[in-house]
Structure 1
Amino acid sequence: MATPNGTLRAVRMGLLMSQDEFARALRRAGEQEGTPNDASKRLVQRWESGTTAGPRPVYARALEAVTGLPIESLGFPAPALVRISEDGHGGDDLQDSPVGTPAGTGSPTPQTSPRSNYTGVWLSTYEYVSSGRGNQVFPGKHHVVLLQHGNRLTGRSLPHGSLNPDSPLTLDLQVDGSTVTGTWTEQTASEGYYRGARYFGAVQMLVEPTGRRMAGKWVGFGKEFDVNTGPWELRLMDTATTRAVLDSYNRPPE
């Protein structure tokens, strides 16, 4: 059974692109790089459904150019170099198949926690200490799209949904009862204080009984290879992921 690529789907939705728009962006990126490709909506559907496990190099380069992320961060299994077949079909909007159930399987989403599904727009808030600025405490805030497949959650911040501009955040989480554990990656702004540095680490949170808030701690490495930690919270803003809802949260959090 194919395993859906929820990470790629979350990244695409975080970019506010339909599958067709994403395919067009990949073709434009190929032309600009001098390596044209034939990316199509059908191909994007096959990547996201897991029917095609990974992209050929010409598509991998375009994916990295469009998303701003390395190919290994887009949910493809290693090695992510496979041949592409031409069958497959699906929808055309931002949600093309039911979240939590691979399209066509009819398998129910497992009841993994107080709420059965955490898909939606969440406000992500964490705090960190900046040793280079007198150990001041700063907040990091993002409007994040979370998508659920079974007990796995994948997330990506909206393009303009960060407190600090041009600092996209990605999450890869797993739900076990009321515990949420996983990894995070943030690419800081090239013109910001951290000058485009890429940070990553782990996070563990507990889900409140309402299922509308997760709170816990993050762990990550600092610039001097020290281990840092701090609080992290996810608060549900909207369970819908339609274009109108994503547009409404495509702004810096207050």
Structure 2
Amino acid sequence: MTTPNTTLRAVRMGLLLSQDDMARRIREAGARAGEPNGASKRLVQRWESGASTNPRPVYARALEAVTGLPIEALGFEVAVRVSDDGRGGHDLSSSATSSSANTSPAPVTGPGNYSGIWLSRYEYFSSGRENTFTGLHHVVLLQHGNRLTVRSLPGSSDSPLTMELSVDGNVITGTWKEQTSGDSYYQGAVYHGAVQLLVEPTGRRMTGKWVGFGKEFDVNTGPWELVFKGASTNKAALEEYNRKPE
């Protein structure tokens, strides 16, 4: 008997994608990365039903790009080991060749590879409350070539955060989007904008500014930083940081 991959299904539904939409996004991600693939609705169905438990590397990389999550966090039964394949992506091998199913070698962190878990911290001024507040998230950052995808861990905040970034030397530029909590002051409102960050020489801290529109359609800005916490994105690391930052 096969065990359905309910995690992958939940991630797909959380992205508001049908199985057809998911397959199309995977094909588009492969095309952008220069690794065309033949993802189809049937393939997504096989993954979600548990009929296929270990996606080929070309699909695994595209899945990471689409979901913003490491392949280990997408519910596949066969534990995988993630390693840098020299092309800005990842390659996979069965955990049978690894000393531990819950351990993955840490990729080198620094210029050219920023994958890992980071602490995101930004500040914003609330005109309605006349005070400055700080937004904190533990996020998973995955790098594919010069593209970075950032997704907050669900337990780190009631307001999910996503970022789509590109790297040019030590300059990182892109967009951000945050869905505020329905119980918060902002009552579930969605905010988005742009961000530009500079990477420190150590490769362990990115600092810069965000810009976005406020409730009255005024343009706001403030400081934003990402602080490196760890290179591993295996199950144990995700569980460790799936909590609100102190």
Give the TM-score taking structure 1 as reference length. Answer: 0.63
Structure 1's unaligned 5+ residue stretches are 1-18, 30-35, 63-73, 77-89, 105-112
Does residue 101 (structure 1) correspond to residue 93 (structure 2)? The answer is no
Contact 2:119 2:137 in 1 (8 A): yes
1:18-46 deviations in Å (ceiling 9; x for gaps)? x934345379x6xxxxxx979x9xx7996
Q: Which residue of 1 aligns with 2:234?
A: 242
CA–CA distance in structure 1, aligned partners of residues 11 and 237 of structure 2? 25
1:118-174 deviations in Å (ceiling 9; x for gaps)? 00000000000000002x000000000000000100010001112xxx200001000
Q: Which residue of 1 aligns with 2:100?
A: none
In 2 relative to 1, CA 91–196 (structure 1 residues): closer, same or farther, beyond 3 Å? same
The code of the aligned residue for 1:248 comes to: E
Does residue 193 (structure 1) correspond to residue 185 (structure 2)? The answer is yes
2:150 counterpart (152, 155, 170)? 155
CA–CA distance in structure 1, aligned partners of residues 28 and 80 of structure 2? 12
Contact 1:20 1:92 in 2 (8 A): no
1:220 counterpart (212, 216, 219)? 212
Report the secondary structure of 1:160's partner residue: helix
Contact 2:25 2:66 in 1 (8 A): no
What does 1:24-173 correspond to in 2, within 5 Å? 24-25=9-10, 50=30, 51-52=37-38, 75=66, 92-93=78-79, 98=84, 100-101=88-89, 114-134=110-130, 136-162=131-157, 166-173=158-165
The code of the aligned residue for 1:197 comes to: A
| Deviation (angstroms), 1:216 | 0.3
In 2 relative to 1, CA 23–114 (structure 1 residues): closer, same or farther, beyond 3 Å? closer
CA–CA distance in structure 1, aligned partners of residues 244 and 190 of structure 2? 20
Matched-pair identity in %: 56
Q: Which residue of 1 aligns with 2:106?
A: none
The code of the aligned residue for 2:225 comes to: E
Structure 2's unaligned 5+ residue stretches are 31-36, 49-64, 68-75, 93-108
The code of the aligned residue for 1:142 comes to: H
Q: Which residue of 1 aligns with 2:62?
A: none
The code of the aligned residue for 1:151 comes to: N
In 2 relative to 1, CA 26–148 (structure 1 residues): closer, same or farther, beyond 3 Å? closer
Q: Which residue of 1 aligns with 2:198?
A: 206
In 2 relative to 1, CA 240–175 (structure 1 residues): closer, same or farther, beyond 3 Å? same
1:208-245 deviations in Å (ceiling 9; x for gaps)? 00000000000000000000000000000001100000
1:28-77 deviations in Å (ceiling 9; x for gaps)? x6xxxxxx979x9xx79966973256869x99xx9xxxxxxxxxxx849x
CA–CA distance in structure 1, aligned partners of residues 179 and 81 of structure 2? 26
| Deviation (angstroms), 1:191 | 1.1
In 2 relative to 1, CA 127–45 (structure 1 residues): closer, same or farther, beyond 3 Å? closer
The code of the aligned residue for 2:136 comes to: K
Does residue 20 (structure 1) correspond to residue 5 (structure 2)? The answer is yes
Q: Which residue of 2 aligns with 1:110?
A: none
Report the secondary structure of 1:240's partner residue: coil
In 2 relative to 1, CA 26–177 (structure 1 residues): closer, same or farther, beyond 3 Å? closer
CA–CA distance in structure 1, aligned partners of residues 218 and 122 of structure 2? 18
Report the secondary structure of 2:177's partner residue: strand
CA–CA distance in structure 2, aligned partners of residues 192 and 37 of structure 1? 32
Report the secondary structure of 1:143's partner residue: strand
